[in-house]
Copies of this chain bind each other. A is one copy, B any other.
Amino acid sequence: MNQIDKSAKICDDVVLGNDIIIGKNVYIDHRVIIRDHVTIGDNCTIGANCILGEYQADFYNNRTNSIHPLIIGPDSVIRSGSIIYGDINIGHHFMTGHNVTIREQTSIGNHCSIGTLSDIQGKCKIGDYTRIHSNVFVSQGATIEDFVWIFPHAVLTDDPTPPSEILKGVTIKSFAIICARSLLLPGITIEGDALVAAGAVVTKDVHQYEVVGGNPAKVISDVRKIKNHVTGEPVYPWRYTFKKYMPWEGSDYDTWFNNK
């Protein structure tokens, strides 16, 4: 039995499975496929050709789609072509680019975004207000806390001695910045306020405020020494200089923090 709010607009070529809940004012574009046990919160937009609650191994093994719930929180936008599995819980104000894949046993907090082509391999935990740009590879078991930025083509790995079955996901703590096309080796921890420079190959843990770069990455600076290229003012910790998309967008970080 599906529960679809009357205010939802669903294109007539959408494929609907069973046990689907669709909230108020949801828009589901052409040729979306929604399999079973999918919940879509109020005001969400699901772009064309998306597949929600995509089949997992049990379906390929025996053509039976077991119960793998997918919950997408309200006010989310899933752009066209994205594929999201079940056994996933996503908070509100989530946003994806195009052709994103998110695999099973993953939780994603509120106000997150995941860019075009990014590939979340499953068994991941992503906090609130974390923004992952285009074509980022997040391997299994990654823990990414709140307010983390990951830029295009970054790769997070999980296998210290490939091929093996003893995986060690990466941990990225709140307010860390992982720049474009960097690579994090298995089990690495990136502490908060650290910055991994573009192109870095990170083989060791990175401490708070450290800037690491190169292959293998070495400490090359302290984030507090980095100046804005136009204003000459310090940039980091970025929560004091950047507000867009953030809960302190209307005020500043300290005011928000002290009032929360």
Q: Footprint of B on A, CB under 8 Å?
A: 15, 27, 30-31, 33, 45, 47-49, 51, 54-55, 59-60, 63, 77, 80-81, 83, 97-99, 101, 116-117, 119, 121, 131, 134-135, 137, 139, 149, 151-153, 155, 157, 159-166, 168, 177, 179-181, 183, 185, 187, 198-199, 201, 213-216, 226, 228-230, 235-236, 238, 241-242, 244
Which residues in B have their C-beta under 8 angstroms from that of A235?
161, 164
Q: Which of B30, B180, B183, B198 contacts A198 (CB under 8 A)? A: B183
Ranked nearest first, the 6 interchain pairs of A and B with the lowest CB-CB distance are A199-B201, A161-B235, A60-B77, A183-B199, A160-B229, A155-B181
Q: Which of B47, B119, B183 contacts A181 (CB under 8 A)? A: B183
Does the CB pair B83–A83 fall under 8 Å?
no
20 further contact pairs, Cβ within 8 A, besides A45-B63, A121-B134, A181-B183: A27-B63, A47-B55, A60-B77, A80-B83, A81-B81, A99-B101, A101-B116, A116-B119, A137-B152, A137-B153, A139-B152, A152-B157, A161-B229, A163-B242, A164-B238, A164-B241, A164-B242, A168-B229, A214-B215, A215-B215
A-B contact pairs, 7 of them (CB 8 A): A47-B55, A99-B99, A99-B101, A134-B137, A153-B153, A161-B228, A198-B201
Which residues in B have their C-beta under 8 angstroms from that of A159?
151
A35 to chain B, nearest CB (A): 9
**Interface of chain A, helix or strand or loop or mixed?**
loop
Q: Which of B80, B131, B230 contacts A166 (CB under 8 A)? A: B230
Which residues in B have their C-beta under 8 angstroms from that of A163?
131, 149, 177, 238, 242, 244
A99 to chain B: closest residue by CB: B99
A177 to chain B, nearest CB (A): 6
